[in-house]
Amino acid sequence: MMRDEVVDVHADRRAAERCRWSRWMAAGCALAVATLVAGGACADRGQGTISYAAKSGAITVTVKNVYLVKGPDMAAGKTIRRLIFSASDLGPKIKGCQGMACSESDLREGLALDLDTGSRLKYWFTANGQKVQYSGTVVPTALKLTTDSPQRLAGKLTLDDSSAGGPKAEIEFDVPMTKEFTQWR
């Protein structure tokens, strides 16, 4: 006796397509996770503003990226940590630097703050593509740290040198070590 069977001639093709689709989804998810992890290693959270009363008018820099670097400082004669607050992504440039001097060279809009240099914190503010610059020092209490470990800093910078013609900044941040340098240049 012969039985009639229903054969789905497309079943094999649909199974292969489902398998292919699953592989693409897995690859896409893996790529998304890798991008998030790598992106987080370049620049970490920072939010706030830096205001400056320039001769040409008021300047406001919105901080979006923060970097933490460590290395030798020629002026202090010892190893220091530097926080770099920037409006743009400097992560790839900083990671490509060979020496500490390079770490802030591409900072066009933002502020670099040197820690561990002495009784005051040194800073350098720049805006308008480095056409506007101001350097100064601030008391260490301007930097309130909630996390202070060799590999991570978190807290708030509240700086106001506007009475002396300098910037005013209020920035919250949480940043892991971006790069450690062994040489100045």
Q: How far apart (Å, rounded) are the C-alpha atoms in residues 96 and 103? A: 9
Output the pLDDT for position 46.
Answer: 86
Residue 34 has pLDDT above 80, yes or no: no
Q: What is the pLDDT of residues 39-86, one digit of tens each?
A: 434 446 789 999 999 988 999 999 999 999 999 988 767 899 999 999
Structural domain boundaries of the chain? 43-180
102 touches 121 (CB < 8 A):
no
Output the pLDDT for position 7.
Answer: 54
Average the pLDDT over 103-122 and give the result. 92
Task: Give backbone dihedrals phi and psi of 71, rounded to 5 degrees, phi first.
Answer: 175, 180
Contacts of 103-111 with CB under 8 Å at 24 or more apart are 103/67, 103/69, 103/71, 103/179, 103/181, 109/61, 110/50, 110/61, 110/63, 110/84, 110/85, 110/86, 111/50, 111/61, 111/63, 111/84, 111/85, 111/167, 111/169, 111/171
Q: SS3 for 84? A: strand
